[in-house]
Structure 1
Amino acid sequence: LALKAIKAGKHLLLEKPIAVNLDDALPVVQEAKKHPELKVLVGMSRRFDDSYREAFDRVKGGELGDIFHYYGVTNDQYNAEIVDFFVGYSKVSGSILVDCGIHDVDLMRWYMGSHEKVKKVYAAGYNARMHRLVESRDADNAVATVVFESGKLANIYLSRTAIHGHECWAQITGENGMIKVNTDNAMNRVTLADEHGYRKLTTQDYYDRFRGAFANEMREFTSAVLDNTPLPLDIDDAYIASKICVGLQMAFRSGEQIFFDKDQSPIPPKGIAASKL
């Protein structure tokens, strides 16, 4: 559909990732580049969140000095009523490392700089509650390590089993300090004190937390279309993030470290076809 829309001369706001495999993603990227007059935006929603943006502005302003580590956490609320949905969804989503992990991979590149090239990745997963995900070689919890050619590092933790509600946060570390974003997942500024102690309502789902980011995304895409303002990320940013996530998926499913070539494409382990991962 994305490819058809671009060929038809339509501006496009596309849900991330571009596609769950690189063979399907590449034609979209190529077609978008043939039409610079069109606005094609892949919805990396956290780039539109005020808190993540402030962190980026501080990083870009040099407050932390050289950034050498990113740590990202994305915990989706567990809901027993939608386990069947996730079991079916995992068969077409590319796994938690592609569908969910792309947010943190994109932030990682945003904060550390797109000039930083990935050397290798490793990932592992575990099914704590949604045990049927094993049918599609997926997991409800996963961890990932990214090593850059420069030696810099990133670590990512992903989960679909958070009992307390939706929680995502990031930590960016540089030579002169550290920034933490969204470490308090309270719904608001109300604190209840009772026999259980001090308590706050937590953000229950992704939409509660990022409603404002989605609104910013729509406003800025509309402005880009109507007023020709620049988009905050281009199609290459989204494509490289997809490449890294596919590499993480390969690592998880093969149990091997995955190395990357000069074009930032993952190299399948020797003797294993990419289509098998």
Structure 2
Amino acid sequence: MNEKVIAMKKIRWGILSTAKIGVEKVIPAIQASTHSEVMAISSQSLDKARVAATKLGIPKVYGSYEELLDDPDIDAIYNPLPNHLHVDWSVKAIRAGKHVLCEKPIGLSTKEAEQLLAAATAQPELKVMEAFMYRFHPQWQRARQLVDEGAIGNLGAIQSFFSYYNVDAANIRNRTDVGGGGLMDIGCYCLSLSRFIFGAEPRRVMGAMLHDDSFGTDYLTSGLLDFGSGTSVFTCSTQLAPYQRVNILGTTGRIEIEIPFNAPPDQPCRMWLQTNGKLEEIIFATCNQYTLQAEVFCQAILDNTAVPTPLTDAVDNMRVLEGIVESARSGSWVVIS
């Protein structure tokens, strides 16, 4: 890696777009990271970029994504663009010599994800990672540790549920042309956590999907992942009461995570560990999982080490997601691995 980058104490970030998740959650969290400095934000509307920059105290604004990528003072890009633009602009950022943290899902298909992987592989000095921030929260690190240590016996089943209610036709989550739908937006978490906790890929998957007659997007998707040694079942919905919960069950105990995905940055989180008939509540100190994600990503750049979630994981998650969709269409099991 370039000695100049190694010597840097902070990674200089540029933000592609004024997306709500970036402005409200991720950018402030990156700014709170010890090794980060948000230097620029871009938008197709210069006025929108200026408003966001003023609100967040970002020194540089650009009226196009290309201008930001051309800025030699930017080291890393955060890409929260709509799903259909994830791969295209992440590839452009890589070719511009920037590290990339890209929002989930990594793309619209396995083929797209593989295109991004190929671009990243061609420039191995750059770090590229899918932004599944939940994995960096201590509650998930602890859950995986407990499972790996056999605290709940042999892992047998995972149950996950994630929902919210949104019937705004203009919202990108309800638009098929930009990769909307419940599975792409929040179901991808359920697939990711299943693979994360089992530490393996499912052999086959089964899916069922209901689609909104007006939007065309799936508003309720359920799935079953068969890992051979156990299963994971999930339901996600964009038209149900807001709720989220994960249960992880083994032969001698279980783990329940109260707020598994949108862990609040301003209050402690809880999980429960039940073993030998005893229920233990585990409290996790207040933290911001987006800040933790930024810290880990920056550290990988500064130390020139591998990112904790390689792009191959993103490709594998997309492969499982496509399997759920294919199964829902065919009504049959789809073999993954």
TM-based fold match above 0.5: yes
Match of 2:145 in 1: 57
Change (3 A) 1:213 1:162: farther
Change (3 A) 1:230 1:186: closer
1:177 shift after superposition: 1.2
Higher relative contact order (CA 8 A, sep 6+): 1
1:172 equivalenced with 2:260 (yes/no): no
Q: SS of the counterpart of 1:132?
A: coil
Match of 2:304 in 1: 228
Match of 2:240 in 1: 162
Query: Residue 19 of structure 1: which of 81, 84, 107 is its match?
Result: 107
8 Å Cα contact 2:172/2:180 also seen in 1: no
- Distance of 1:252 and 1:84 partners within structure 2: 26
**Equivalent position amino acid for 1:33 in 2:** T
1:87 shift after superposition: 6.6
Q: SS of the counterpart of 2:160?
A: strand
**Equivalent position amino acid for 1:54 in 2:** R
8 Å Cα contact 2:174/2:180 also seen in 1: no
- Distance of 2:114 and 2:306 partners within structure 1: 22
Match of 2:195 in 1: 109
List alignment gaps of at least 5 residues for structure 2: 1-88, 269-285
Change (3 A) 1:144 1:7: same
- Distance of 2:134 and 2:110 partners within structure 1: 22
Match of 1:140 in 2: 219
Q: SS of the counterpart of 1:37?
A: coil
Match of 1:122 in 2: 206
8 Å Cα contact 2:173/2:180 also seen in 1: no
- Distance of 2:183 and 2:175 partners within structure 1: 13
RMSD value over aligned CA atoms? 2.7
8 Å Cα contact 1:123/1:248 also seen in 2: yes
1:97 equivalenced with 2:183 (yes/no): yes
Percent of counterpart pairs with the same letter? 25
Q: SS of the counterpart of 2:214?
A: helix
- Distance of 1:212 and 1:122 partners within structure 2: 34
1:218 equivalenced with 2:302 (yes/no): no
1:160 shift after superposition: 1.2
- Distance of 1:155 and 1:247 partners within structure 2: 14
Q: TM-score, normalised by structure 1?
A: 0.73
Change (3 A) 1:112 1:88: closer
For these two proteins, the number of residue pairs brought into alignment is 229
Change (3 A) 1:249 1:98: farther
8 Å Cα contact 2:209/2:221 also seen in 1: yes
